[in-house]
Structure 1
Amino acid sequence: MSFRRNLVRARGHIVFLVALVSGLALVLWLETLGDPPQAAEQVAPAETATETPPAQAETVPETETAGPDIMAPFEAVDPLPLAVRGQSTTRDMRHARIAWTYFENNVNADTGLANSVHDYPSTTMWETGSYIVAVLSAERLDLINEAEAEDRLTRVLDSLSRLRLFEDTLPNKAYHARTLALVDYSNTPSERGLGWSALDIARVVAALGLVERNHPELAPQVEALLGGWDLDRMVQDGELIGTNVIDGETRENQEGRVGYEQYAAKAMMLFGYDVYRAYEVEDNLMVQEVAGQPIPVDTRLHRGTTPAFVVSEPYLFDGMEFGFDARSHRFATAIYRAQEARFEETGELTAVTESHLNGAPYFAYASVWGGGESWAVLTFRGERIDDRRTVATKAAFGWDALFGTDYTARLVEAVAAVADPEKGFAEGIYEASGEPNTSTTANTNAVVLAALAFKAHGPLMRQADQ
């Protein structure tokens, strides 16, 4: 009885030993059959993949960097020191007052929203985010007091809460700044709307995060506003998703390329959204050397047809609003140095980014690298318009605030010529003709204010140095 009782007690160990011996025997038997056909299983998905358009493989240059060492070129970049000066000069304050004039002229009395372009009562979530940044920056520069800043921000929050959302989900891509009506890009009323832009919404979400940081008394209104937007719809599996209306059908699409995508991801992280794939870069990154600098370029196509482009703007926003992380600091340093090197080589002042134009096609991306080449200037649809390259006011002020070099000081001196005390700063100077790009916008004047606030106090997300 004692033996049987012990046998029962040991049954678990016995089963384990039997399974172990059986498994070992099975492995030894399988090894006699030769190698399994793993190669065929691994190759098949690559041969049948349809997610990447064939055109992308054709347009990606053979010099791209790939593989596990994709970040190695950037590890060799020595980040430039930040140039927070802790004070504003007399010239800084003169420039700040000129930039703030734009918003004194272009904020609508009925809604508290700013026009995207001087005297043009249309806005997007991007421009609304820019206006919020302008208000916070003007407050830090003592152009307005705390009470006025709070009043302006409250009016923006109230209007945003009253917007008719696209399909009752998220803000439409464009609104009439005076009536809050859904509009198309010509500012014509649109009953259905255009869809939503994940990047534009992330831009205003970033600005709302800055509101909570600088005006915590407004946090309940911010939370109530965002609670009424279905932000879960634009964050799917760690990516940012926008929509377009095509042939009457709402279609979803991934939004964002390296630079803008990571800035937008940081914004969504402020409110607890999982955007791990949007913040990551390595899966969609190639390196293009421009003027001796490693430039981070997205391998995905812009609008499915044109190699992606690299401009200054998302890095300016990242540094001045959030403060760089180690990766974006290196990316920004390389992108800035390439522009400085182009000047040293050609004598052409270079400060490139996206800009509104004062004539058709009215908008351009002046790139460090884009469309398959360095220094390309592209329309939204990917056509080349290199004669519209602009020494951009916002790039000049932004780089000067962040890095404060002799070259950036020269840029600011050049674009100071397009300052209009009655209207604000114009977009910049056309490189080819030397004539001013006289379009005057909310985005540019907001960046000028943010840059000047950064010089004196550091990133908007952090406590201002008093």
Structure 2
Amino acid sequence: MSFKTHLIKARSHLIFLFALGCGLVLVTTIDRRENEQADTQSGATAMAHFEEVTPLPLAITGTSSPEDLAYAKMAWQYFVNNTDPNTGLVNSTDNYPSTTTWETGSYFVATLSANRLGLIDDAETIARIDLVLETLMDMRLFDDALPNKAYNVRTGDLVNYANEPVERGLGWSALDIARMVAALGHVNANYPELAAKTAKVMDRWDLSLMVEDGQLIGGNIADGDLRYDQEGRVGYEQYAAKAMMLFGFDMFRAYDAEKNLMVREVEGQPIPVDTRLHRNVTPAFTVSEPYLFDGLEFGFDARSARFASAIYAAQEARYRNTGILTAVSESHIDVAPYFIYSSVWGGGADWAVMSFSGERLDSKRTITTKVAFAWDALFGTEYTSDLVAAIAPLGDPDRGWPEGIYEADGTTNSSVTVNTNAVVLAALAFRANGPLIRAGQ
């Protein structure tokens, strides 16, 4: 039989296959266009969920109770114990002489807050901040451009995360540096006499390397080469954008939460979730922390007030529904892997607890000290009072506040850190004075 004859016999099958192929192309094209259209509309659609969220009123009282001051004094003891007298830098955790730019920013926030609460006077406040500024002006930078990801507290040398010296460094974290920039903005607002020195510090940093097209860009060493990565997810990204905008940087993409926003309902509340991976490693998750910083330091804007109110309300609702006190965020823990992200939503599930690498560690969910104090200062509800009452017995006048209480068995998460004690001070100062960016009264 000739090829022509075979072709004629097969023509009906060929026509069918051709039609099927055309149909698949058409369906794929339509599906892609619908997905692209859905992607462009998802931010606006997601934001619509928050129109029904009524922002909770802030609980600024203008006063500090004797109990508040006792709690604040315990938090400040951490900084008394952990400040190096030569560099002025503060240990990231109790007696561990390593720090990050983020944690140095936390120290500035703690110092300004302690001053507002009357725990230290203006002279000590200025002296403490001034010593760190002197160190920052002399500290070696990664590639002579930006602060390295970690430093030795005692020497100011570049180190890795094991606090071991490294010649070039690890790269830079744009989020950490933005947090430090926020702290410098708070210093300028409260102590204008230090503004000239904060300007000299920032002049050393080539901040243009970490801002591109309105986004935050981190520098990471990978296989010996420097790799540039976008940094920040919904919550942290907008907090960092506010910090950079204080100094005139155009952060239009970073401040735009809607572009990468999806909503997941948790305990009947709309929870803002980023559509991207967290640090390009683990599935996106939502924690309390960036919203606490935003409220305590800058004062909420209309959007972050709604986001924060919903995130808080979900945690209270979980308690009402289960009887389990809930105050979640990222935190240190006192066993390996030593750092976790306790989410409201993350990794595809409500209330997931995850390591940096994405391992589920729900048994380490912590009723977190800093979250309890911060929600109580911001919103002052009956539930936040219950949270603080549960945490209060943990305070140690000799060491400061530990991370919190393990939900699973009620034991203490005994890690004691700069960030937790800084947030406790910032929260108690907020109750009496309002957001930190406001000039001291």
CA distance in 1 between partners of 2:427 and 2:299 (Å) = 12
Among 189, 193, 209, the alignment partner of 2:169 is: 193
- Picking from 24, 49, 62, the partner of 1:86 is 62
Name 2:361's counterpart in structure 1: 385
- Give the Å deviation of 1:304: 2.9
* Residue in structure 1 matched with residue 294 of structure 2 by the alignment: 318
Tell me how far 1:219 sits from its aligned partner.
0.3
* 2:285 and 2:345 in contact (8 A); partners too: yes
Give matches, 1:51-66, under 5 Å: 66=42
Whole-Å Cα distance in 1 between the matches of residues 72 and 375 of structure 2? 16
1:110 counterpart residue number: 86
Name the counterpart of 1:70. 46
Q: Which position in structure 1 is the counterpart of 2:317?
A: 341
State the match for 2:8 in structure 1: none
1:442 paired residue number: 418
Q: Distance in 1 between matches of 2:331 and 2:281?
A: 21
Q: What does 1:83-232 align with in structure 2 at a 5 Å threshold?
A: 83-232=59-208
Counterpart selection for 1:359 from 335, 345, 358: 335
Counterpart check, 1:271 vs 2:247: yes
Secondary structure of the equivalent of 1:241? Answer: strand
Identical counterparts, % of pairs = 63
Residue 276 (structure 2) pairs with residue 300 (structure 1): yes
Separation in structure 1 between the aligned mates of residue 129 and residue 439 of structure 2, nearest angstrom: 18
Tell me, what secondary structure is at the counterpart of 1:420? coil
Residue identity in the other structure for 1:192: R
* Deviations 1:83-137 (CA, angstroms, capped at 9, x unpaired): 0011000100000000000000000011001100000000000100000000000
SS at match of 1:318: helix
1:404 partner letter: G
Match of 1:395 among 348, 371, 374: 371
CA drift at 1:301: 1.0
Matches of 2:283 and 2:319, distance apart in 1: 25
SS at match of 1:429: strand
* Residue pair 2:245, 2:251 contacting (<8 A) in 1 also: yes
TM superposition shift of 1:66: 2.3
**Equivalent residue number for residue 430 of structure 2:** 454
Q: Deviations over 1:324-352 (max 9, x none)?
A: 00000000000000000000011110000
Name 1:329's counterpart in structure 2: 305
Query: Could you tell me whether the CA contact under 8 Å between 1:458 and 1:464 is conserved in 2?
Result: no
Shift of 1:157: 0.6
CA distances 1:268-316 after superposition (whole Å, capped 9, x unpaired)? 0000001100000111000000000000000001233432111111000
TM-score normalized with structure 1 length: 0.86
Partner SS state of residue 424, structure 1:
coil
Query: Secondary structure of the equivalent of 1:253?
Result: strand
Q: Which residue of 1 aligns with 2:215?
A: 239
Once the two structures are superposed, residues 131-168 of structure 1 have per-residue CA deviations (whole angstroms, 9 ceiling, x without a partner) of 00000000000000001100001011111111111111
Task: Give the TM-score normalised by structure 2.
Answer: 0.91
Question: What RMSD, in angstroms, separates the aligned Cα atoms of the two structures?
Answer: 2.0
Deviations 1:413-444 (A, max 9, x none): 11112111100000000000100000000000
Which of 370, 374, 399 pairs up with 1:423? 399
SS of corresponding position for 2:378: helix
- Which consecutive residues of structure 1, in runs of 5 or more, have no partner in the other structure? 1-38, 53-61
Tell me if structure 2 keeps the 8 A contact 1:415–1:429. yes
Structure 2 contact 43–261 (Cα < 8 Å) conserved: no
Q: Answer whether contact 2:43 2:262 (CA < 8 A) is retained.
A: no
The question of whether the paired residues in 2 share the 8 Å contact of 1:303 and 1:381 is answered with no
SS of equivalent residue, structure 1 residue 79: coil
Tell me the CA shift for residue 406 of structure 1.
0.5
Counterpart of 1:233, as a letter, is L
Distance 2:439 2:143 in 1: 38
Kindly provide the CA deviation profile for residues 162-181 of structure 1, in whole angstroms up to 9, marking residues without a partner as x.
Answer: 11111111000000011011
Whether the 8 Å contact between 1:401 and 1:451 is mirrored in structure 2 is yes
- Residue 370 of structure 1 corresponds to 346
Residue type at the aligned position of 2:248: G
- Aligned residue number for residue 6 of structure 2: none
2:45 is paired with a residue of what secondary structure? coil
Partners of 1:105 and 1:316 in 2: how far apart? 25
Question: Stretches of 4+ moved more than 3 A in 1?
Answer: none
After superposition, the Cα gap between the structure-2 partners of 1:156 and 1:67, relative to the gap in structure 1 and judged at 3 Å, is closer
Residue identity in the other structure for 2:144:
D
* Pair 1:67–1:174, CA change in 2 (3 A): closer
Aligned to 1:57: none
Code of the residue aligned with 1:386 in structure 2: it is: D
